[in-house]
Amino acid sequence: MHRQTRTLHSGWTLTCLGGPGVRPGLPEAIAATVPGTVHTDLLAASLIPDPYLDLNEITVDWVGRCDWRYETAFDWQDDGAEQVELVFAGLDTFAAISLNGVEIGRTANMNRTYRFAIRDHLRSGDNHLVVTFESAWKRGEVLDKQYEPRPNNYPGPANLMRKMACNFGWDWGPTLVTSGLWQGVTLESWSGARLARIRPEITLDGADGVVRLNAELAGDAQGLSLRVSVAGVTETLPVSGAVATLDLRVKSPQLWWPHHLGSQPLYSLDVELLSGDTVIDRWSRDIGFRSIRLDTTADEHGSAFTLIVNDAPVYVCGANWIPDDCFLPRVTPERYAGRVTQAKDANINLLRVWGGGIYETEAFYEECNRQGMLVWQDFLFACAAYPEEGDLPVEIEAEARDNIVRLMPHPSLVLWNGNNENIWGWFDWGWQDVLEGRSWGQGYYLELLPRLVAELDPTRPYWAGSPYSGSMGIHPNDPAHGCTHLWDVWNDIGYEHYADSVPRFCSEFGWQAPPTWATLTQSVHDNPLTPTSPGVWHHQKATIGNDKLLRGLQGHLPVPQTMDDWHFATQLNQARAIAFGIAHMRSHRLRNMGAIVWQLNDCWPVTSWAAVDGYGRKKPLWFALRNVFATHFLTIQPRDGGLSVIAVNDRTLFWRGPVTVKRLRFDGTVLAEWTHWRLCADRLSAAELPIPAEVATPGDVRNELLVVTMHDSTAIHYFADDIDLDLPAPQADFALERSGTDRWTLSVTARSLLKDVCVFVDRLHPDAGVDDMLVTILPGQSHIFTIDGASDLDRAALTSAPVFRTANDLVRGG
């Protein structure tokens, strides 16, 4: 009998079983969606306000403190199958499952799949299935008494359980403690045997691709065989036990590459379990052939940290990824596709799935496979000490085994990482005094997880933490070794201090700004709206975050006096800060081989470090990333007491051509000019060209700039910060034309220097977007902006503040 699978997603109801602060007058039961969460069911029934709006997060806090019961009925008729199993792909988190009045299991981990044998508990006709969830807050109180104190950077018991840590709040996220059947529920029937676990180890041997297929079987597999096919190659193997291993060699397959280096051919890997000629179970995934290794060789600067794909060293232009919504089932495959596309369009080539979130659903990794987006996957530990006693080690091992095996077929996945900031915390955050010798997770990161990766997925590198130097004998955040986090810049000092060091690899650094105006006003309804009005303040989760926003402007931009200027200045400063840091790091390519900005996305509308806000709109930072992560990137950097042009080439062909350097007054007058007739940057490298002092030295630092061009790449350098520049009053001529039903072109011709032009069309039409921002236009030059999503546009509103903005406005007081 072929294994039969049936989803159990209909007919569910939800009942509140009570808890602290429960809302009076709740209906006895409401309709429930599976997959789903309690919060989204209550929202659909209009029983709670939207927690993303205003101060509603506080209003709905009671939801996470209650126990909840899901129940449904389903019809079952005996089809003669020897085994019937109830499979839960994701239960959040502490659940008791009963079928027809009999408890069949309990769960305590939202990050793994659970499978229960239920044939003996089924009856012909109607069957009653109940899943009861205990509040994670309530279970946390029990665990808190069980474990002695363990440091945690954030309130809540996330480090004592296996639940998404940021559920309990983060410095960019709300405290919305969920429960529910967040992934699918299926009924599986089978006889004899089934495929239990498939592990394809995919490697290259010279020009050939090799698949070592490891299959674990459940049931009695005697007399069965395994047939495996990929890329036109098929092999069959008789099964003699519970584990079978089969090697397939594919002659000269096309290689899978990150998107900036090549194409992403995918091949279907098909596994069939046969009884004679009859297929009784099957498994299929799309795979890609590529090699991956992590180079940590010692050198004159310390030790490298370089990802090497298909023997090519890759400079990582990355972004950290957090859960894209607090209510996980709302992140559809289409939403994943849109967000990964936004990353790719910003020239990002790697997403780091951060350890305070989840192992994402298959749709995320499949999209990364298709789009050539590399994935760095954290194991789920973040910013806290984790006990190594009690039930946690068993849960953590089961969770890791589940997810290593589930994710290893994906060619996009290139690195397993043990934790986020926990080793750093043990070194620097006072943990050792608090712990007094108690466990904190070291055994997970240095023993358990590397052992499991070596056993289950030996083709991929494992790294113990981010940050981590590679040795407990070297400080984990030493920039000369391993991967580094740079958070002192945002927290304590100005962004110019990104240039103080050259990390071998920077896996976290970031700068805050509010969301787009449309997102801010869609989610906050304060009147008046100010940086410190209640709703805006509530949607700023970082400690003294607004103070840091203003402090970060010091020395760069004037203190804004209006809400409009505050919004623009802080967004502009975010883009400037991150672009400055990345340009510095990329200019030291080879010594530095990666910059992963914190962060790509948000899970709700909030002032944060994200480039794409919680409603999916692009902040100016997104446009800055697109520029500074370009595969052909030109930058002007201080070198040896002068200035040099650095041409960074992350393509597979050399980049060469004439370089022209001009020193101009702000009115466009050319004061000095020099052309170097051929600068050549070899493939996957950077080339440096010193600028002659007579060109690089200004006569008036307040009124001059350098412009460097090489082919279609341009770099601009100012000799002082904006606050010390004599930027002119912005003057321009505009031409607005409709180019489609909802598309427009805005031509801007500068009559004065226009620095960092932004067109915030979302202020006029919330769903509209523009194709470019942060554009500097020299006097006499023009730039065309394309606007999409606006059925009509008011030319006067479009071409004046607060929609049309330049840095000139801020310096000159609006």
Query: Which residues are annotated as catalytic?
Result: 421
Determine contact, residues 47/68, Cβ cutoff 8 Å.
no
Please tell me the distance from the alpha carbon of residue 319 to that of residue 783, in angstroms, as a whole number. 29
Distance of CA 359 to the CA centre of its chain: 11
Sign of CA dihedral 523, 528, 530, 535: negative
Structure tokens at 699: 């006569």
**Quick check: helix, strand or coil at residue 362?**
helix
What phi and psi, each to the nearest 5 degrees, are found at residue 41? -70, -40
Structure tokens at 668: 């466009």
Peptide bond into 528 cis (omega under 30): yes
For residue 12, the number of C-alpha atoms closer than 13 Å in the C-beta half-sphere is 24
Residues 475-508 as b/e (b if ≥16 CB within 10 A, e otherwise) read: bbbbbbbbbbbbbebbeeebbeebbebbbbbbbb
- Residue 361 makes CB contacts below 8 A (sequence gap 6+) with 183, 331, 336
Please tell me the distance from the alpha carbon of residue 457 to that of residue 263, in angstroms, as a whole number. 24
Structure tokens at 319: 């972004």
Strands (E), 337-433: 350-353, 374-378, 413-417
What DSSP designation does 207 have? T
Cα dist from 294 to 307, 311, 415, whole Å? 5, 10, 8
- The string of DSSP codes covering 61-90 is GGGGGS-EEEEEEEEE-----SEEEEEES-
Strands 484-486 and 506-509: parallel
Structure tokens at 589: 């390519």
Determine contact, residues 647/684, Cβ cutoff 8 Å.
no
Determine contact, residues 381/418, Cβ cutoff 8 Å.
yes
Determine contact, residues 695/674, Cβ cutoff 8 Å.
yes
Structure tokens at 255: 């290689």
Please tell me the distance from the alpha carbon of residue 438 to that of residue 488, in angstroms, as a whole number. 28
Distance of CA 418 to the CA centre of its chain: 16
What phi and psi, each to the nearest 5 degrees, are found at residue 355? -75, -5
Determine contact, residues 628/579, Cβ cutoff 8 Å.
yes
For residue 197, the number of C-alpha atoms closer than 13 Å in the C-beta half-sphere is 18
The number of residues making up the chain comes to 814
- The string of DSSP codes covering 727-757 is PPPP-EEEEEEE-SSSEEEEEEEESS-EEEE
- Cβ neighbour number for residue 218 with a 10 Å cutoff: 17
Q: Is 759 left (phi over 0), alpha (psi -120 to 50) or beta?
A: beta
Cα dist from 481 to 472, 486, 509, 562, whole Å? 12, 14, 17, 44
Determine contact, residues 243/268, Cβ cutoff 8 Å.
no
State the amino acid at position 478 in one-letter form. D
Nearest to 235 by CA among 248, 222, 223, 245: 248
